[in-house]
Amino acid sequence: MPRLSFFPKNEKFFDLFEESTNNLVQAAGVFAELVEHWENIDEMVRQITDLEHHGDSITHRIIAELHGTFVTPIDREDIALLAQRMDDVMDFIEAAAVRMALYGVDKPTERAKQLADVLVRVTSEVGKAIPRLRHRRDLGHMREHCIEINRLENEADSVRRAALAELFHDQVEIAEVIKWREIYEHMENAVDSCEDIADILEGIMIKRA
């Protein structure tokens, strides 16, 4: 007897989610390169902004597809939440890059480089987890990526706390404190939004167990 499909035969949502995560991974990579080398700043920020606009386009396509689809492969609310959280990650990456350029920082801090590295790793885990939505046999393997995303969020939180402590303890000028506190917040928010994605994925796993 042929096995029944786990999801309705609408691959469009999976295609769009994977396109969105690939976009996030690319943006995190460009951002990390910007922070590491701090060269060609305007061009690198423009690339990130272009990726953010592309991410917006993908989000709009997901929502349009959602409105036009009667039977969805996963719960409608989960589709909408995943789309929104992916959009949030992209928005926070762009916000961090734009603020660094706008505020004319002299050079990125070592803590900023550490947070950028975490952001690369956490978006990579999201990029590995999302494709596992397509097939029931892969759902169990999605958990390992969710666990790693949660661990990386804790790592980012520790780095940010250390970064803020250094700002206030190293007699940094108040203007620099204000600049970097906001930049760090955007970077950590991007990682936090990846954790939100992991929470949604774990919820889907429970529903489909």
CA–CA distance, 74 with 133 (Å, rounded to integer)? 9
For residue 5, being part of any structural domain is answered with no
Q: Quick count: other Cβ atoms within 10 Å of Cβ 21?
A: 24
- What's residue 12's pLDDT? 92
For residue 1, being part of any structural domain is answered with no
For residue 178, being part of any structural domain is answered with yes
Q: Taking the alpha carbons of 36, 41, 44, 47 in that order, is the dihedral positive or negative?
A: positive
From residue 60, alpha-carbon distances to 98, 193, 195 in Å are 23, 19, 22
For residue 6, being part of any structural domain is answered with no
Q: Taking the alpha carbons of 41, 43, 46, 52 in that order, is the dihedral positive or negative?
A: negative
pTM: 0.92
Do 184 and 108 meet the contact criterion of CB atoms below 8 Å apart? no
For residue 3, being part of any structural domain is answered with no
For residue 137, being part of any structural domain is answered with yes
Q: Per-residue pLDDT for the chain (209 aa), expressed as one digit of tens each?
A: 444 444 455 689 999 999 999 999 999 999 999 999 999 999 999 999 999 999 999 999 999 999 988 888 899 999 999 999 999 999 999 999 999 999 999 999 999 999 999 999 999 999 999 999 888 787 888 999 999 999 999 999 999 999 999 888 867 788 888 999 999 999 999 999 999 999 999 999 888 76
Q: Quick count: other Cβ atoms within 10 Å of Cβ 113?
A: 15
- What's residue 141's pLDDT? 85
CATH number for 180: 1.20.58.220
Number of domains, the chain: 1
For residue 4, being part of any structural domain is answered with no
Domain of 20?
12-207
For residue 2, being part of any structural domain is answered with no
